[in-house]
Amino acid sequence: MTAPSTALSYTHGTSATPLLGDTIGANLQRAVDAWPDREALVDVPSGRRWTYRRFGADVEELARGLLARGVAKGDRVGIWAVNCPEWVLVQYATARIGAIMVNINPAYRAHELGYVLRQSGVGVLIASTGHKGTDYRDLVRQVAPDCPELRERVFIGEDSWDALVGAAQTVTAGQLAEREAELSCDDPVNIQYTSGTTGFPKGATLSHHNILNNGFWVGETVGYSEQDRVCLPVPFYHCFGMVMGNLGVTSHGACIVIPAPSFEPAATLRAVQEERCTSLYGVPTMFIAELNLPDFADYDLSSLRTGIMAGSPCPVEVMKRVVAEMHMAEVSICYGMTETSPVSLQTRRDDDLERRTGTVGRVLPHIEVKVIDPVTGVTLPRGEPGELCTRGYSVMLGYWGEPEKTAEVVDAGRWMHTGDLAVLREDGYAQIVGRIKDMIIRGGENIYPREIEEFLYGHPRIADVQVVGVPHEKYGEEVLACVILRDPADPLTLDELRAYCRDRLAHYKVPTRLRLLDAFPMTVSGKVRKIELREEYRPR
């Protein structure tokens, strides 16, 4: 339940269920003991399957292999790989020995890879051999001379991986138990680099307590049990995959289903059908791609009951189709950020369509949120837009090696300042109205792109839309609509778009510019890079 409403934009989640005090390794062992013969992990591309008993044994073997390689508590182990079972094994094995796993974006190239390895001080790097034409081995060779702490490189599927696993024979179960006895749930266990739009990304440092509890509560909120099978086409290197996905699944004895190394709409629906998945994850663009498959209606998705849509604002019309056509009656929207492990707000299983499509839910148990005036820091009355802040077990330990940058976003009261503009309603549900940096100011009027995007999703010829502000000599900024059409052979003109908006939006919100695109520039985690749209299509 949520605490009673007050006049101010503050609320906190309460629950009779306490927070977990486990380390990730101890929590996994509880699942292994409770459900040894249930499936824990299925890799659809390779056909490999793990029961909880086998998964626990393979995690232990890899953990002992890492100990044999001299990985100490607090050492950084990098994982630079696409979605595969080995990624999941590394996640839990590093946690069992108290190492800090460093997630590396599969899209990184030499410059970014080298920065992350140096900044976090990775000693052992575990990587795929390559993906989509990129040779990871070659890129590692290029950057290794400038990464003095990098002492070992392991490539999944090659002899170096087999040697790492084989090294377990030199370490006893007792030695592993001795290491585990030294661990605390408050120890750092993971560094995730946030995708910076300017400069280098920052490494959000997260503890066992941060991410295990967040995964558990996300799973609780969608009602997971050992009966659930969760299809994860979202990348593991991101919180969506490894926290809301993997940790949310294993903390409930459910099954992780990997449909493909990276997102493929047909492979995702095929995995749901073949593995009888009960839950499906995705960012809105993934669900849009699945719904737009020419043979979408041929897939049997009747096993689905729930899932999570997150990562970026979720269009109302897309959510309606997911509920109606994908059988996901209990689908949940989650809101959060890497720095908060990631989820702070989530819709509930029994929420009506308005709450599920018009909000990002209400605060999760054991978390506080408030909406403040971004200039004064004062908590605003309910219903007024301001910056969303969150506090609780989920707030990161800090940015790795960057205390000054940490202090810019986590204040003295341990509130995380999200940079998102939100409205907290009287019923405790929150609406995200935009990013502070994305807000368009036209002639002194504040314009929230999210509002215009939601409206334009209702246009019968528009499949997807992003709204950004671009410079204007007189008004400071003007509104640009970047549109992907349902049928490229049926183009849309700016005059037609403006006519559609004219009687329904205030005049200053009506787009004055239009670009028809085939696709949006995206991050690997599925977020649209609005900064690229602003730069590419600004008036010259």
Measured between alpha carbons, how far is residue 261 from residues 7, 45, 234, 290 in Å?
48, 8, 10, 17
114 domain-assigned: no
Q: How many domains does the chain have?
A: 1
**Domain containing residue 476: CATH number:** 3.30.300.30
pLDDT at 523 over 90: no
pLDDT at 506 over 70: yes
* Tokens 């990129």 -> residue: 134
Spatial distance between the Cα atoms of 438 and 441, rounded to a whole number of angstroms: 9
**Average pLDDT of span 211-226:** 98
414 Rama sector, left if φ>0, alpha if ψ -120 to 50, beta otherwise: left
Q: Which of 452, 485, 486 is nearest to 469 (CA)?
A: 452
Q: Which of 214, 238, 202, 209 is nearest to 410 (CA)?
A: 202
pTM of the model: 0.87
Give the structural domain span for 450. Answer: 438-536
Confidence of residue 198 (pLDDT cuts 50, 70, 90): very low
User: What are the tens digits of pLDDT across the range 305-329?
Assistant: 999 998 776 777 888 899 999 999 9
User: What are the tens digits of pLDDT across the range 437-457?
Assistant: 888 888 878 788 888 998 999
Q: Please report the pLDDT score of residue 195 as a whole number.
A: 64
500 domain-assigned: yes
455 domain-assigned: yes
Peptide bond before residue 294 is cis, with ω within 30 degrees of 0: no
Longest dimension (CA), the chain: 74
328 domain-assigned: no
Q: Mean pLDDT of all residues in the chain?
A: 94
In 46-151, the DSSP E strands lie at 48-51, 76-80, 100-103, 122-127, 130-131, 134-135
**Sign for the pseudo-dihedral over CA of 364, 38, 128, 83:** negative
Q: Please report the pLDDT score of residue 451 as a whole number.
A: 86
Q: Which of 342, 319, 450 is nearest to 396 (CA)?
A: 342
66 domain-assigned: no
388 domain-assigned: no
108 domain-assigned: no
507 domain-assigned: yes
Q: Which amino acid is at 489?
A: A
